[in-house]
Structures are given as C-alpha cells and as structure tokens.
Amino acid sequence: MKEMFLIIIFIVASLLGYRVIKEVPSLLHTPLMSGTNAISGVTILGSLVSTAYAVSSGSKFLGFIAIVLATINLVGGFVVTDRMLKMFKS
Amino acid sequence: MIGTYEIVSIVLSILVLVGIKLMSSPKTAVQGNRIGAMAMLAAVIVVLAYNGIIDVPLLWLAIFVGGVIGYIMAMRVKMIQMPQMVALLNGLGGGASALVALVEIFERYKQMTLFGRLTGQLALAVGAVTFSGSLIAAAKLDRRISQRPIILKNHGLISNAVLLIIILLIITASVANISGIGFIAIITAFLALAYGVLFAIRVGGADMPITISLLNSFSGLAGAICGFTIEDPLLVAVGAIVGASGLILTQIMCGAMNRSLVDILSGSQLNPGINKKEATPQEKVIDVEKTPVTAKKSPAKSPAEILKTAKKVVIVPGYGMAIAQAQSQVKALYDTLESQGKEVKFAIHPVAGRMPGHMNVLLAEVDVPYDKLCEMDAINPEFSETDVAIVVGACDVINPAANTAEGTPIYGMPVLKVEEAKNVIVCNLDTKPGYSGVKNSLYELPNVHLLLGNAADTVKELVESIKQ
C-alpha cells in the first residue's frame, strides 16, 4: 500500500511539475535549471535520516558526506539562482 | 496510511510548485526561488523533528560544513561560469542520493522488501551516473579537459556492456537474498560511475546544454527513487518535479538543435571532425581559408553608415560573445543605438551558449533590460523588417545552410533568420565553421559585412564609429 501511495505521488508530482515548468519562458531557463537543481538537494532529507539511524561508523561517515554534498547543492543552488534572478531588470 | 508527515509533504511539495510557477516571470522569479528555498528549509526541520533527530550534532555539523561551502561557491562564481557551476552542483546532488542509497543498502538490506531493494540499487546507480557524468561535464565546460568529444574504440559497445552488467547486478541484488550485498552494491556503484564518465566524455561543447539538462533530470530522478527506498513521499514528489523539469529542458534543447536524445546518448552525429568531411557534399565549399572573404565584397556603405541610417536593429549574441567577454561592449552598442532613437532588440537562440538560457543571464548581468531579449519564434518574423542584424559570436544558430544543406549535422535545425534583414554585420572571430563543422553560407551573401576579430574589440570599434 505504502508503495502504491509513493508511486502515485511520483506520477502526480511529475505531471504537475511538467505543466508548471512548461510555462517558464526560455528567458529564465538558466535560473530555472539552477533553481530546480537546488531543489534536487532535497535528497538531504534522506541523508539526514539514514545518517542518524546508521549503526556502523562507515555508514555514518558516508551519510555525513551525503549531507555535506546535498547541503552544498541546496545552498549553492539557491544562492546562485537568487544572484542571477536579481540581475533581470526591465 | 496518510499521516501528518504525508500531509506536510504534500503541502511542501505544492509550495515548491508554487515557487517554480512564480519563476515564469522575471518579476516574481526572485520570490519564487526564495519560496522554494523556504520550503526546503521547512522540509529539513520537519524531517529532523518528525524523526526525533533534531539534536544529533553530527547532522548539524554536516549541514554547517555544506552550507558554508555552498554559499562561498555561489557567491564567488562568475556568470560566465554558470554552466559548470550548475553541472557541478547537479553532480553533488546525484552523489548525495547515491550515498544515501548505499547507506540504506549497507544498513537495512536484510529488512528491505523487494521494492526497497530494487529502488535502493536503482537510486545508487542513477545517482552515481549523475555524479560522474556531471563532474565530467563540469570539467569540460571549465576547459579542464578537452571540449571535443572523446571517443574510445568500441565506445558504444563498452557503455552498453557496462549498462547491461549494472542492470543484471541490480536485478540479482534485488531478487536474491544474498550475503555479499555490500560488495555487489560497491561494484554497482563503480560501474555506474564508469558509465557516467563514458556517457559524458563523448559529448562535445555545443551539445552540453542537452547533456546538462539531462543530468539535471537524472539528479531529480535519483532523489525520487531514493525517496522510494526510504519511503519518504516528500523526497519522491520533489525529486519527480525536478526530474520533469530537466526532461522538459532536454526536450526543448533537442528540438532547438534538431537532435534526438538517442543521438546524443549514443554519440552518433557527434563527431564534427568526421561530419565536416563526410556530410557536407551540398555545401561544395570553397575552402574557407583560401577565400579572401573580407576583401571579396566591398559593399557601397560601411557598417557605420548602415547603422547610422538604420531604424530597427537586432543583435544576435552567441557563445563567442561569452568567450570574448564582449557583453559590456554589446551593452554599449545597445545604449548607443538606443540613444540615437533606434529600435534595438536581442534575438536569443535557445541553444546559444552552453546551457539553456545562458545568453539571457550574461546580458542581464550587464543590465540589458529583459524585455529586449526575444525568443527565436518571436523575433524570426521581424527580421524581414529589420534594417541591420548584428551577429556577435554566433555561427551555427544563424547559418541559413540549416534550411538547405541536407545531410549536414545542422540540417533541419531551427535557426535565426538574420539573412532576411536588409543588412547583416557579423562580429565573429573568423569565418571558420561553428561547432557543427558546417560552413556558414551567410558569410557569402551580398548584404553581409564581416568584422572579423575578437568581438570585444570589433564591437567596441563599431560603437566608436557610429558615435562620430
């Protein structure tokens, strides 16, 4: 059941995402890409939980690296997108 | 089944969608991006609190380290370096997903369902491909390695073999309840890393927009699959949104280059060196080097004279403008023409530059108003009523041969119809073909003036000449 729910979420989110993103003009495609790229750092959620519950120190270490990488992705992506978007003036 | 966390996940996912929706207009885009960032921050806090791990110092340390590195990187990067920055960040996201999957496999494999095992292995593979592929793409864009496609002997065969083994390993590790799973997972990861490298090294410079878009999609997909493994609906939803975004951009880029995704992935049509010789019979090229193109035509009027009498001017920037760092000179040209009461617009081809929308960012940086930046479909009908089109560092995207030269790599690719303008001034480095290797038939036309050399210099001279 849980699995079906996740699959449905996946499909619905893909379709909604597709519709919304299709509307973004090519003018803003670079910031769109860096912005969604930042959002793909969402994997941090997984890394936080896995790392906290990991038993072996090897797993903890890998998890630690995963959080660092995901956070760079998130913070770097959002900040750089912000910098870019602020340049667009009419 | 649908508890608090699921509801919060749905709300935050909708927030992310609203953020992206606001990115459809430059007016609201800054806000949209910030809403996205806030949603992510909220998600992190919710996950920490919900799982009762908000007081684990290790997690905060990792967030702090990553946050500082990310912030510094983002503040220091130059706009011209944006493609490699995005590629790099993309790779890190993919790497993080792969690591999460690896940790899950190491720690929980015995308790996992078939679904969990399958998605875990899949997330590991997709994440690792994204990681290595993006790093290679970033290194290429940063010119740390050659921008030319690097093709090994039997390249396609090797990549397909690697891919096949990865698939077999994933299936084996999912179906059989085996003991050496950690070992298998590590092999899968290494093979996936190798596949990413194989995939990215044979992509050449101008195909990078497609590659980056595709890797962007992969990084979202890796996150979503990771979400399946750890049964986190928020991760699934947001990963899916990013995956869709990358997919759309990939489609747009492919359409704008008249290439199918399969061509890019399989590396066919990707060797301009070979294509140049084999595939340009139609062109019947007089060897470019020997033709004294500049001397050939001496039109009645000089570019400055033409510009002085022009009423409507369209500037067409390409990646050459970025390489020559001629954006400020182009802005000066724009200002000068505008101050003389002319109508000035910019025509932006979707694949001009090294990532989708690259030219817009570079021009926005030098304060060109965004409403002057026109998309190809909007500006193409206007060229026939344009007095002067000024090309700055663009070649393939303005090559009229794309309409006629059957069998060449650019045949069928939609191009900017600059040749329809009454006059064309080309500020390119030289008359060599662009990335496609197809000779530019525009240069031969009588209404075309070539100002060859570094665009930063030629545009500057052009500005000086019309000021007099």
- What is this model's ipTM? 0.95
Indicate the average pLDDT of chain B.
87
Q: Which residues contact B40 (CB under 8 A, 6 or more apart)?
A: A38, A39, A41, A42, A44, A74, A78, B16
Q: Which of B5, B12, B54, B100 to mutate to test the interface with A (most CBs of A within 10 A)?
A: B100
The owner of tokens 């093979």 is B191
- In words, the CATH class of domain B303-467 is alpha beta
Cross-chain Cβ contact A33/B357 below 8 Å: yes
Q: What average pLDDT does the segment B293-320 reach?
A: 78
Nearest residue, CB atoms, B69 vs list A12, A15, A72: A72
pLDDT at residue B356 greater than cutoff 60: yes
Cross-chain Cβ contact A76/B244 below 8 Å: no
| Set of chain A residues whose Cβ sits within 8 Å of the Cβ of B48 | 48
Cross-chain Cβ contact B24/A28 below 8 Å: yes
| Set of chain B residues whose Cβ sits within 8 Å of the Cβ of A69 | 66, 92-93, 95-96, 99
Cross-chain Cβ contact B70/A87 below 8 Å: no
Helix%, strand%, coil% for chain B, nearest 5: 65, 5, 30
Residue B292 sits at φ, ψ, to 5 deg, of: -80, 75
Rounded Cα gap, residues B307 and B294, in angstroms? 19
Banded model confidence at residue B432, pLDDT cuts 50, 70, 90: confident
Residue B115, pLDDT score: 92
Rounded Cα gap, residues B65 and B379, in angstroms? 46
Cross-chain Cβ contact B240/A36 below 8 Å: no
Nearest residue, CB atoms, A40 vs list B17, B19, B242: B242
Cross-chain Cβ contact A6/B233 below 8 Å: yes
| Set of chain B residues whose Cβ sits within 8 Å of the Cβ of A25 | 24-25, 375
Rounded Cα gap, residues B382 and B378, in angstroms? 8
Residue B404, pLDDT score: 85
**Conformation bin of residue B434: beta by default, left when phi > 0, alpha when psi is -120 to 50:** beta
Amino acid at B225: I
Nearest residue of A to residue B347 by CA position? A27
Nearest residue, CB atoms, A62 vs list B47, B103, B371: B103
Please tell me the least confidently modeled range out of B155-169, B365-379, B424-438: B424-438
Q: What average pLDDT does the segment B223-228 reach?
A: 94
Cross-chain Cβ contact A36/B212 below 8 Å: no
Residue B6's CB: how many other CB atoms inside 10 A?
A: 16
Q: What average pLDDT does the segment B292-315 reach?
A: 74
Burial-class residue B151 by CB neighbours within 10 Å (0-12, 13-18, 19+).
Answer: middle
| Set of chain A residues whose Cβ sits within 8 Å of the Cβ of B240 | 9-11, 13-14, 17
Judge whether B427 and B459 are in contact, CB under 8 Å.
yes
Rounded Cα gap, residues B142 and B86, in angstroms? 12
| Set of chain B residues whose Cβ sits within 8 Å of the Cβ of A11 | 240
Banded model confidence at residue B294, pLDDT cuts 50, 70, 90: very low
Nearest residue, CB atoms, A62 vs list B71, B102, B219: B102
Nearest residue, CB atoms, B67 vs list A38, A75, A82: A75
Q: Which of B28, B86, B130, B346 to mutate to test the interface with A (most CBs of A within 10 A)?
A: B86
Q: What average pLDDT does the segment B212-229 reach?
A: 93
pLDDT at residue A81 greater than cutoff 60: yes
Residue B431, pLDDT score: 86
| Set of chain A residues whose Cβ sits within 8 Å of the Cβ of B224 | 10
Residue B265, pLDDT score: 67
Q: Which residues contact A80 (CB under 8 A, 6 or more apart)?
A: A34, B73, B74, B77, B82, B85, B89
| Set of chain B residues whose Cβ sits within 8 Å of the Cβ of A90 | 26-27, 369-371
The owner of tokens 């799973």 is B181
Shortest distance between the Cα of B62 and any Cα of chain A, in A, equals 5
- In B41-80, beta strands by DSSP E: none
Helix locations, B351-427, DSSP H? 358-365, 376-379, 401-404
Cross-chain Cβ contact A66/B96 below 8 Å: yes
Q: What average pLDDT does the segment B106-129 reach?
A: 92
Shortest distance between the Cα of B456 and any Cα of chain A, in A, equals 22
Shortest distance between the Cα of A57 and any Cα of chain B, in A, equals 11
Please tell me the least confidently modeled range out of B247-261, B279-293, B435-449: B279-293
Nearest residue of A to residue B182 by CA position? A59
Banded model confidence at residue B332, pLDDT cuts 50, 70, 90: very high
Rounded Cα gap, residues B395 and B293, in angstroms? 16
pLDDT > 70: percent of chain B: 92
Nearest residue of B to residue A34 by CA position? B86
Angstrom distances, CA of residue B208 to CA of A24, B169, B211, B350, B352: 21, 30, 5, 13, 11
State both tokens at A44: 């941090």
Nearest residue, CB atoms, A32 vs list B23, B92, B350: B23
Q: What average pLDDT does the segment A57-81 reach?
A: 96
Helix-helix angle B358-365:A77-87, to 10 degrees = 60
3-state secondary structure of B374: strand
DSSP B299: -
Rounded Cα gap, residues B153 and A80, in angstroms? 39
Please tell me the least confidently modeled range out of A81-85, B143-147, B190-194, B217-221: B143-147
B207 a catalytic residue: no
Angstrom distances, CA of residue A27 to CA of A43, B84, B167: 28, 19, 39
Nearest residue of A to residue B100 by CA position? A47
Is the CA virtual torsion B271, B277, B280, B281 positive or negative? negative
Banded model confidence at residue B170, pLDDT cuts 50, 70, 90: very high
Judge whether B358 and A31 are in contact, CB under 8 Å.
no
Q: What average pLDDT does the segment B154-182 reach?
A: 88
Angstrom distances, CA of residue B165 to CA of A59, B36, B134, B192, B241: 25, 38, 22, 10, 29
